[in-house]
Amino acid sequence: MSKYYNPNRTRNLYDPRARESFRLSRSKIDLYLNCPRCFYLDRRLGVAQPPGFPFSLNSAVDKLLKKEFDSHRAKGTAHPLMKAYGVDAIPLAHDKLETWRDSLGGGITYLHEPTNFFITGGIDDVWVAPNGELIIVDYKATSKESEVNLDAEWQIGYKRQMEIYQWLFRRNGYKVSPTGYFVYCNGNTDKAAFDAKLEFDIKVLPYTGDDSWVETAIIGAHECLAGDKVPESGDDCDFCKYREAARNVEK
């Protein structure tokens, strides 16, 4: 992974003097909320956190789920999981779906005029209810012995992700259900043998979002980047703790 990591990026940096819109992804808003210092170093000064290793298994699950739901999308039918969990909807057929899914080159986007930020996010899926409301859906994969849920403190990132997507679709003029769903796949390790296959238990978890914080977060991110001083670290940022510990021993 190291050959792909550039610790001194010179492109896609925020310039307070620039007139063109600045593209800011959903994940970078989350970074700002987690640690303003890391956010400023990344988007203003070009020093990003080192990337993690790709979750290839998660990507495979994501791809297969999309294929599965897309087959029902083409037929205009509900997926059996939707029926099993009492979700009165079908996968949305829309000519922009693949663009919305493209988090790197496209995504669902909105120009936030007060900050001149072009907010972006790449969704996994959208369902549509009989009343025309769009339902935002996100796929997740893990492997744990306990039942999957949304109760862990670190899963605030999942919830923010859902809420920013809901905010983006509303700003694009769509009627959006306050309830989104996480299609959560849990790899089953309680088997006598592997037999060259991994089976998953799949749950559909509802989540009622509240996007009222998004506007404030975007304005805060803009104020952060427009400043001339590197801000303080987040309350519990491992990257900042590491940099501080390294500086202390190097002295």
Q: Low-confidence residues of the chain, pLDDT below 70?
A: 1-4, 53-56, 192-193, 195-196
What is the model's pLDDT at position 1? Answer: 44
Q: How wide is the angle at C-alpha 210 spanned by C-alphas 206 and 216, nearest 5°? A: 150
Helices (H) and strands (E) in the chain, counts: 8, 8
Alpha-carbon span 127 to 69, nearest angstrom: 10
Q: Contact 14/43 with Cβ under 8 angstroms?
A: yes
Q: Residue ranges of the domains in the chain?
A: 20-250
Q: CA 195: distance to chain centroid?
A: 33
φ, ψ for residue 24, nearest 5 deg? -130, 120
Kindly report, residue by residue over 142-183, the tens digit of the pLDDT: 888 788 888 888 899 999 999 999 999 999 999 999 999 999
What is the model's pLDDT at position 158? Answer: 94
Q: CA 5: distance to chain centroid?
A: 21
Q: What is the dihedral of CA 200, 165, 101, 138, to 10 degrees?
A: 0
Whole-angstrom CA distances from 22 to 25, 52, 110 are 10, 25, 11
Q: What is the dihedral of CA 119, 125, 126, 129, to 10 degrees?
A: -150
Residue 119: name the closest of 127, 132, 110, 128 by CA.
Answer: 110
Global pTM reads: 0.91
CATH number, domain 20-250, options 3.90.320, 3.30.70, 3.40.720, 3.40.1700: 3.90.320
